[in-house]
Amino acid sequence: MILRYKGALDFAMRRIGIAICLLALGCLLAAAQSEEDKAVSVKFAEAFTRLTELHSGIKDLHPLLEGLYPVAVVEGEVFYVFDVLENDRLYELVKTARPPMIVPEGVRAAFPLDFYDNTMACVVTGEVFDDLSGYATIFHEFIHCAQMATCELELKARLSVAQEAEAADNYMWELSHPFPYADETFEEVYALFLERAAEGDKAAVSRCRAFLREVLNAQDYEYMVWQEWKEGFARHIENKVRAKLELELRVSQAVPPFDRVTFYEGGARYISLLIAEDPELEKDIKALFQRMAGGQ
C-alpha cells in the first residue's frame, strides 16, 4: 500500500515538474516575443511618425484619404500589425501573427487580415519606408481600405464574374481571372482608348468603350471595368498625393503587351476624363463605377 502510494506520489510530482518546466518555457518564450515586439516597435517608430505627419498634409485631397488604416509590416513569416488607437493618431504594434501564407519581398497590397478580426489593412515589407515614394504607395493602399469600407462589397455583389468565382471558392479572382490581354482586337482598341483618353477626346473614348463592350464577353468586360475602377481610382488619388509631395507621377506603359496593371493606367485616364466633365464623380465613387460600367 505504501509502495503504491509512493509510486502515485512520484508520478504526480513528475507531472508537476513537467508542468513547471512548460510554464517556465512559456514565460521565456513570451519574454523573448515581448522583447522582439519591442525591437520591432522601436525599429518602425520613426517611420510611422512620418506616415502620420505626411497624412496630415494630404488627407484633405479626398474624403477617402481622411482615415488612417492598419499597416501590417511583414518580416520573414511574421506579420507585425500596427494600428491607431481610437481618437488617436499614434500607431502602435497591436498584433503579431504567423499566418500560413507566403508574402513576397516588396509586397504592396491591401486585404482583410483574418487574424485581426478580418480588418482591412495595408500589407507591406519594411523597405517601403525607405523613401517618400513608398509612403505614397501606402496611401494608394489606404484608398483600397476606404473602398472596402464604403461600397466595394455592394458593387462586387453585382458582378457575375465575382459571384461565379467566389461560388467556386476562388477568392483570388481579382488577380487570376484569365483575361484575354493578348487578343489582337483588344490590344488595338485598348491602345487607342488609352491614347484618346490621354488626349481628352471624350467622343473617341466613348466609341472605344462601346466597341470593347461588343468584343469582350460579359465577364471579361466586368473584370476590366472592375480593375479600372478599383485600381484606376487608387492610382488617380495616389497621383494627387504624389503631386502634393512633389514626386514623379505613377504612369504605366500604354502600348502592348498588356496585363492587369494596364487597367490601373486605363482606369486612371478614364476617371480623369469623366471627372473633368462631372467633378462630383470624384467624391461619389459608386456613381463613378456606374458611369464607367455604362461606358459613357
Segment 174-216, tens digit of pLDDT: 999 999 999 999 999 999 999 999 999 999 999 999 999 999 9
Q: How confident is the model at residue 34 (pLDDT cuts 50, 70, 90)?
A: confident
For residue 82, give Cα distances in angstroms to 10, 26, 130. 48, 24, 17
Which H helix or E strand runs over 49? helix 2-58
Taking only the tens place, the pLDDT of each residue in 102-132 is 888 999 999 999 999 999 999 999 999 999 9
Residue 15 backbone phi and psi in degrees, to 5: -65, -40
pLDDT(16) > 50? yes
- pTM for the full predicted model: 0.88
Residue 295 φ/ψ region, left for φ over 0, alpha for ψ in the -120 to 50 degree band, beta for the rest = left
* Cell numbers that stand for 213 in this block: 463592350
Q: How confident is the model at residue 253 (pLDDT cuts 50, 70, 90)?
A: confident
